[in-house]
Amino acid sequence: MNQFDLVSELERVTSLGYSPNVIYDDNGYFAISDEGISSVREGDDFTIEHFCQAGWFKSTPQEAWEFYLKRMKDNGYDDIDQEVVCKQQ
């Protein structure tokens, strides 16, 4: 059985140019969002705001990730399933 590895999945899709963020709420739910805005960085401080719908929150990181992938594919981002071979430097 393959064990879910969120870090590997995040690395895989960021190498494709996506920018997913894991969001955890105070009720114990997880969401993955790549929608949001950030301020221009000034020194060490900057602000990032994420946008996500209530239905994106799931009980586990794996459920949130699977929902994110489905949502992206449903919106035409078919390459998000692409396997990436990373060379270690």
Assigned domain for 71 exists: yes
Domain region containing 51: 6-77
3-state secondary structure of 31: strand
| Lookup: tokens for 47 | 């602000």
Task: Output the pTM of the full model.
Answer: 0.80
C-alpha dihedral sign at 53, 58, 62, 63: negative
Mind listing the pLDDT tens digit of every residue in the chain (89 residues)?
468 899 999 999 999 999 899 999 999 999 999 988 888 878 888 888 889 999 999 999 999 999 999 999 999 988 888 776 554 44
In a domain, 1, yes or no: no
Q: Could you tell me if residue 53 is inside a domain?
A: yes
Got the DSSP string for 33-85? E--EEEPPPBTTB--EEE---GGG-BSSHHHHHHHHHHHHHHTT-GGGG----
